[in-house]
Amino acid sequence: MDDQRSTRQKVLWWVAGAAVVVYALFPVAWIFSLSLKSSADLGNQQFLPTSVVWENYEMILAGDAQSLFLSGLRNSIGVSLIATFIAVVLSTFCAYAIARLDFPGKRVILTTALAVAIFPVISIVTPLFNLWRNIGLYDTWPGLIIPYLSLTLPISIWTLSAFFRQIPWELEQAAQVDGATTWQAFRKVIVPLATPGVFTTAIISFFIAWNDFVYGISLTSTESARPVPAALAFFTGASQFEEPAGAIAAAAVIVTIPVVVLVLLFQRQIVSGLTQGAVKG
Amino acid sequence: MAAITMNNIIKKYGDGFPAVNDVSLDIADGEFMILVGPSGCGKSTLLRMIVGLEDITSGEMLIGGERVNEKAPRDRNLAMVFQNYALYPHLTVYENIAFPLRLQKTSDTEVKERVNQAAELLELTEHLERKPANLSGGQRQRVAMGRAIVRNAQAFLFDEPLSNLDAKLRGQMRTEISRLQKRLGITTVYVTHDQVEAMTLGDRVAVLRKGLLQQVASPRELYENPVNLFVAGFIGSPPMNFIPATVGEDALHTPFGDVTLPESRSVDLAGKDVVLLGARPESFEDAAVVSDTVRDHGLTFDANIDVIEWLGNEQYAYVPYDAPEDIRNQLAELERELDSEAMRTQLVVSLDATSRIEEASVSALWLDLRKVHVFDPSTGENLTARTATQSTSAPA
Ligand SMILES: Nc1ncnc2c1ncn2[C@@H]1O[C@H](COP(=O)(O)OP(=O)(O)OP(=O)(O)O)[C@@H](O)[C@H]1O
Ligand SMILES: [Mg+2]
């Protein structure tokens, strides 16, 4: 009876899981197949390309769209990495203070962060556009990094302070009794416990910056700062009657690669429940 | 190894509340000292001041004759087992135990030798490569012990290390700690809530109440000769019975009859109207089983037996009685402070297992007056406490 139930449960889980996977990955597969179609093939209303061609990739990596795409890629990577780095450093300090210290205004910081996070991007982009043009930040990396921070900082502060609150800080004292200096206690005990949280936060921030479109398209005008999502909008077909769908698909596939690599690289660091077993019950 | 000396230690937290108030305590080299007291009386605070995790507001702390007030925890060379173990979750059991050695930059071969030795002592050898998360409560507790014994600390400090274990494991670990301490002969300070741990583990027991030291003495001394109401009520389970008595011309009037205290217990009651008589449950007996030779040393009285609890080797009888309002309030107050559960206008009486006294009957009980204590209800002082054996002196 129990066995029966558990097999049935298992089957159900598999079916549900498969459904979710198909639902989530079907568009990705479609884009991938689209990127391998020749331009004549694009509208053939079939899932698979009639013949696999690499012309779309050639076009964005070596052909007409090369400068547009590669500069976009460079901008995206640079801007996202810097925005992530700053957000993680700042939010680590902030979350540490929120988790460890009792000071007036703690709640204010958290609520402000939340308020900033729920503020619609589209409503500040026009004023920013004007402001940036006046002070010379328009179409520059800092001109993107600063608004990206407004997206990444709040969520980083929230996730990290939630994470830091779970760390058994008594361990720091235990380490000091065991003969560690304050710095050693921090480095040998607290840092290893905090690292997974910091990595998780970094990855979330990076994705947010990486995926932004509104700021990217509004606050840039040339290849000097335009990120990939915005650059895709400037792709043109071979003639003006042709959709650049193949090239866009190819670019989308390439843009996905860093995300996948990042997750694979750091999934070991994002082990949840690492603090288990430190204290009883 | 070292002696720990505290001179007039005071700890005030930020709000000015004195968590530890003027505590002076001498812990001899190699001694096993127990700290007991109700919740919030400052036991943990005292321990944390010894180890250096809490600043000392005033007073002097000496370890091995050296003042340590200003020393950081790492310079005091003490080993502590925290109430919640505080194991490092990212390290294996081996590395957890090795942690203090690694900080001392001990060579790998010596680390290996000492960790294996500690692991063997604590029967952890087959768990060395596991992470704390995968261990049982008792195993985690032993890892915490291992981390404490692996280096040559001057003293061990334990903060209720067994409080979260189940009864069986607790008993097991208790003997293990006792054996370990005897074997290593290291000065130990042990905080506990538990009566049994307090009575069985320590050479001496220090009783704290609201940050004030009440009495420091051997478990036997505490039990037989408590200095005040608080200690008398705190030590012993079931607790001591307190019987109100009005002072008369030549006798004390109690709800159970008039009492004349024997020579050994007679005290100067001049100027006092009311006193409290303290009698342990085992000072009572079924009058029927008391031999004639000792009967004269006690008081025989008729009691309304309410409930009998038969435990095989002995039995407890509950005897409700009436007490004046103000005394009842005072007893209730004392009980609140002691966290005890019993409503104490009843006697708890221990009877011989062969006694045939029945529930809901009126039976003759006998109280051994040679073992009765007399307390002053206004100060709580034990008027019968022997002052000859100075209870606060360390054993030679
Ligand atoms: N950080 C603190 N700030 C202010 N007061 C504190 C602080 N820590 C403890 N206290 C107070 O000091 C008193 C003693 O606390 P302590 O933790 O030493 O009690 P305890 O005897 O260990 O109790 P328990 O048996 O419950 O562990 C308590 O009244 C507590 O409220
Ligand atoms: Mg405590």
Q: How far, in Å, CA of A113 to CA of A212, rounded?
A: 19
Q: Residue A97: exposed, middle, or buried by beta-carbon count in 10 A (0-12, 13-18, 19+)?
A: middle
All residues of chain B having their beta carbon less than 8 Å from the beta carbon of residue A173 are 53, 73, 82, 86
All residues of chain A having their beta carbon less than 8 Å from the beta carbon of residue B77 are 179
Q: Which ligand minimizes its atom distance to the CA of B15?
A: 1
Q: How do beta strands B373-375 and B274-279 pair?
A: antiparallel
Q: Is residue A55 in some structural domain?
A: no
Cα–ligand 2 centroid distance for B44 (angstroms): 4
What mean pLDDT is predicted for residues B89-104?
94
CB-based contact B86 A168, cutoff 8 Å: yes
Structure-token pair, residue B265: 């217990």
What residues does the ion ligand 2 have nearby, CB within 5 Å?
Answer: B 44
What mean pLDDT is predicted for residues B71-96?
92
Cα–ligand 2 centroid distance for B175 (angstroms): 22
Q: Give the pLDDT confidence score for residue B395 in this predicted structure.
A: 41
Q: Residue A184 — pLDDT band, cuts 50, 70, 90?
A: very high
Q: Give the pLDDT confidence score for residue B278 in this predicted structure.
A: 93
Please answer whether residues A228 and A73 qualify as being in contact, where contact means their C-beta atoms are separated by less than 8 angstroms: yes
Q: How far, in Å, CA of B27 to CA of A218, rounded?
A: 74
**A237 to A39, A216, A248, B161: CA distances (angstroms):** 9, 22, 10, 74
Cα–ligand 1 centroid distance for B340 (angstroms): 20
Ligand 1 site residues (CB inside 6 A) read B 13-15, 17, 19, 37, 39-45, 193
Q: How many angstroms separate the CA of residue B137 from the nearest CA in chain A?
A: 7
CB-based contact B132 A180, cutoff 8 Å: no
| Interacting residues of B110 by C-beta distance below 8 A, sequence separation 6+ | B101
- Does B145 or B396 have the greater pLDDT score? B145
Indicate the SS3 state at residue B240. Answer: coil
Q: Is residue A276 in some structural domain?
A: no
DSSP letter for A190, please. I
Q: Give the pLDDT confidence score for residue B339 in this predicted structure.
A: 63
CB-based contact A176 B74, cutoff 8 Å: yes
Q: How far, in Å, CA of B248 to CA of B364, rounded?
A: 24
Mean pLDDT of chain B: 88
Q: How do beta strands B155-159 and B78-81 pair?
A: parallel
Nearest Cα residue to A197 out of A165, A152, A175: A165
Q: Which ligand minimizes its atom distance to the CA of B16?
A: 1
All residues of chain B having their beta carbon less than 8 Å from the beta carbon of residue A176 are 52-53, 72-74
Q: Is residue A247 in some structural domain?
A: no
Q: Which atom of ligand 1 is nearest to the CA of B41?
A: 21
Q: How many angstroms separate the CA of residue A269 from the nearest CA in chain B?
A: 12
Give residue A76's region: left, alpha or beta (phi > 0; psi -120 to 50). Answer: alpha
Nearest Cα residue to A76 out of A3, A145, A166, A18: A145
Q: In this prediction, what percent of chain B has a pLDDT beyond 70?
A: 96
* ipTM of this predicted structure: 0.78
Is B134 an 8 Å CB contact of chain A? yes
What mean pLDDT is predicted for residues B80-95?
91
| Interacting residues of A74 by C-beta distance below 8 A, sequence separation 6+ | none
Indicate the SS3 state at residue B96. Answer: helix
Q: How many angstroms separate the CA of residue B243 from the nearest CA in chain A?
A: 42
Q: How far, in Å, CA of B367 to CA of B116, rounded?
A: 56
CB-based contact B90 A192, cutoff 8 Å: yes
**Per-residue pLDDT at B392 exceeds 50:** no
All residues of chain B having their beta carbon less than 8 Å from the beta carbon of residue A171 are 86, 88
What mean pLDDT is predicted for residues B161-176?
82
Q: How many angstroms separate the CA of residue A128 from the nearest CA in chain B?
A: 45
CB-based contact B90 A280, cutoff 8 Å: no
Residue A191 structural domain = 66-234
Q: Which ligand minimizes its atom distance to the CA of B48?
A: 1
Q: Which ligand minimizes its atom distance to the CA of B35?
A: 1
Q: How far, in Å, CA of B101 to CA of B96, rounded?
A: 10
Listed range (A136-140, B159-163, B348-352) with the worst mean pLDDT: B159-163
Q: Give the pLDDT confidence score for residue B128 in this predicted structure.
A: 94
- Strand partners of residue B212: B209
- A49-91 pLDDT, tens digit per residue, is 888 888 888 888 887 778 888 899 999 999 999 999 999 999 9
Mean pLDDT of chain A: 86
Q: How many angstroms separate the CA of residue B49 from the nearest CA in chain A?
A: 12
Give chain B's domains with CATH numbers: 4-224 (3.40.50.300), 239-393 (2.40.50.140)
Q: Is residue A148 in some structural domain?
A: yes
Q: Give the pLDDT confidence score for residue A65 in this predicted structure.
A: 77
Q: Give the pLDDT confidence score for residue A240 in this predicted structure.
A: 64
- Strand partners of residue B286: B365
CB-based contact A277 B131, cutoff 8 Å: yes
Please say whether the dihedral angle defined by the alpha carbons of residues B190, B192, B194 and B198, taken in this order, is positive or negative: positive
Q: How many CB pairs under 8 A join A and B?
A: 86
Q: Is residue B255 reached through a cis peptide bond, with omega within 30 degrees of 0 on the bond before it?
A: no
Please answer whether residues B366 and B287 qualify as being in contact, where contact means their C-beta atoms are separated by less than 8 angstroms: yes
CB-based contact B89 A178, cutoff 8 Å: no
- A208-251 pLDDT, tens digit per residue, is 999 999 999 999 988 889 999 888 888 876 666 667 888 888 88
Best mutation target among B45, B55, B74 (most A Cβ atoms within 10 Å) is B74
Is B51 an 8 Å CB contact of chain A? yes
Best mutation target among A177, A182, A186, A195 (most B Cβ atoms within 10 Å) is A177
Q: How many angstroms separate the CA of residue B134 from the nearest CA in chain A?
A: 7
Question: Helix count (H) and strand count (E) of chain B?
Answer: 10, 21
- Strand partners of residue B351: B315
Cα–ligand 2 centroid distance for B191 (angstroms): 8
Edge-to-edge, what's the strand order for the sheet holding B252-254? B257-259, B252-254, B241-247, B274-279, B373-375
Q: Give the pLDDT confidence score for residue B61 in this predicted structure.
A: 95
Q: Give the pLDDT confidence score for residue B87 in this predicted structure.
A: 92
Give the total number of structural domains in chain A. 1
CB-based contact A274 B89, cutoff 8 Å: yes
Structure-token pair, residue B270: 């001049």
Please answer whether residues B21 and B208 qualify as being in contact, where contact means their C-beta atoms are separated by less than 8 angstroms: no
Q: Is residue A271 in some structural domain?
A: no
Q: Which atom of ligand 1 is nearest to the CA of B15?
A: 4
Q: Which atom of ligand 1 is nearest to the CA of B43?
A: 21
Q: Is residue A54 in some structural domain?
A: no
Q: Give the pLDDT confidence score for residue B114 in this predicted structure.
A: 93
Phi, psi (5° rounding) for residue B80? -125, 140
Q: Is residue A57 in some structural domain?
A: no
Q: Is residue A108 in some structural domain?
A: yes
Nearest Cα residue to B139 out of B182, B183, B92, B185: B92
Which CATH number do you get for residue A73? 1.10.3720.10
The structure's pTM equals 0.77
Nearest Cα residue to B147 out of B100, B102, B109: B100
Q: How far, in Å, CA of B48 to CA of B50, rounded?
A: 5
Is B99 an 8 Å CB contact of chain A? yes
Q: Give the pLDDT confidence score for residue A272 in this predicted structure.
A: 52
CB-based contact B133 A276, cutoff 8 Å: yes
Give residue A100's region: left, alpha or beta (phi > 0; psi -120 to 50). Answer: alpha
**Per-residue pLDDT at B270 exceeds 90:** no
Is B142 an 8 Å CB contact of chain A? no
Nearest residue of A to residue B157, measured between CA atoms? A177
**Per-residue pLDDT at A41 exceeds 50:** yes
What mean pLDDT is predicted for residues A116-141?
90
